[in-house]
Chain A
Amino acid sequence: MVPLNHYLYLSAILFTIGAVGVFTRRNALIIYMCIELMLNAVNLTFIAFSKFLNNMDGHIFAFMIMTVAAAEAAVGLAIILAIFRNRETVNVDDINLMKG
């Protein structure tokens, strides 16, 4: 049986890859994919703890995260579509109407 540490290490690595992707990529679609990757890494942590603490509440949390991810993907992609229709770009550096 693989110890709990290794699952957490894998989850931390995936989360870091996702975070680096969010900060370095300019394409809004790929930034969304990186956010999905980070959510998945957190899910892995929940499931691993759920198994090792012998408590099934973690499965419910993973279920809820999946729900939120699905809602977020639907709304986010609709926003990207609307932006692309108005501005002809999905590059986040060109989308600076609010001067953020």
Chain B
Amino acid sequence: MASVLATRHPEDTVHGQVGDATVPLRFSSLAEEYQVLRERAAVLDLGGHRLIEITGPAAVDFAQRILARDVEYLTSDRCMMSLVLDDSGQVVDQVIAFGREDGLLLESSCGAGSRLLDHLLAHAVEGAEIADRSADLTVIGLEGPYAWGVVGRLIDGELASLPFESVVEATWDDVDIVFARTGYTGEYGYQMIVPREASAGLWAGALEHAQAAGQEALELAMLEVRQPIPRHEATPGATVIEIGANWLVDITKDDFVGRAAVLEAFEAGSGRRTVGFTGCEGVPAPGTRVLAGGQDVGEVVHAVHSAGLGATLGLARVDPELAAAGLDLTVGGLGVTTLTSPYIVPKSWSIPII
């Protein structure tokens, strides 16, 4: 799946394959786009996020069984982030669920749409219609400490101060869009679900007030605030507890696919735990061994160079008795220190919307 906006991006845009999607990885440079995202406002082509609609009389019951969070009373003015699990408790995807008048709309994570759709179809029930809407809808995001200003100039300033995870029907240039206050990076974040035929215009309009940022900058900023990135963190066999994504599961909910396995993993207290680290030279590959006092205690899950820290930033999965900030460990033979989340304090936390 390629973004409908791909032909609108500059010729030197670097595209790459993320799961089933071809997405813009960077438009200029990672450092520049990261700075825009953390200091000003970035516009994001989220065309790699698939939109799947669930409608019909059994839609809510079906979604309630499929999603790990409670969506029974998810009204059309709300959205929420949730994990989708398989029967063994493994992460299928991390979605944003939008309440709709006639059911729900699920937005997959980047490149995970096919996997999510297959999972939904495999669990389909009578009375719940599942439809991939990606052929006629796409998603454009705004993220950054001044993203609220872009919303004001682009659509309506009142939308900028919507409560987190609020959703409204809005109009841009006589086009009906779904507008939501969301956010992946700890900064002010918004998403606009727009008809594909109008998306180029909205993208161009947003670019008059903000600068485009690609998937690399977005994922870096997500990591810095410990927002799970399923394609990196949901490694084969890892439980929700090991990933540390408990908050994307409503364990008090009576029943959902994967609940028994998650509860078993939680109660057993076994397995490893994920902790952030910085230090070392270069970027260690996933699987690089982590040592404590000379003993093998885990492995690197994902690491990057953090522009915000000016150093390597990574996640390691280690023995639970060592999953804590402030420890000096060794990764690939070089010293690292484990960190307290968030690893970067978003600028938006100290900037009011005016």
The answer to whether A and B assemble together is no
A positions within 8 Å CB-CB of B: none
